[in-house]
Amino acid sequence: MLMRLSKVSVLMFLLGVSAWQVFATCAKSTTGASSMGDGESPGLTADAELNYYRLRGGIDKITAQVNYLQEYIRTQCLK
């Protein structure tokens, strides 16, 4: 099942709200006995990683739109 970010989550991120829950996993060690510090580095779950890249893409798109509108206002409206 594909998890989608809610509009509220995106808005919270854009407003800088710092309370976030991140879903991550640690890969299981393939060696025999485990000990402290021999595991894999933690990483995002597949859904969380996909949501991250979608959010980054959305931010890039919105940033481009804001930049365009600011330039339009400077060159067309403030003459």
Q: Is the pTM of this model over 0.75?
A: no
6 domain-assigned: no
72 domain-assigned: yes
Domain of residue 66, residue span: 46-79
DSSP states along 21-53:
---EEEPPP-SSS--TT-SPPEEE-HHHHHHHH
Q: How many domains does the chain have?
A: 1
71 domain-assigned: yes
- What is the tens place of the pLDDT at every residue in 15-46? 776 666 666 677 666 665 555 555 666 777 88
62 domain-assigned: yes
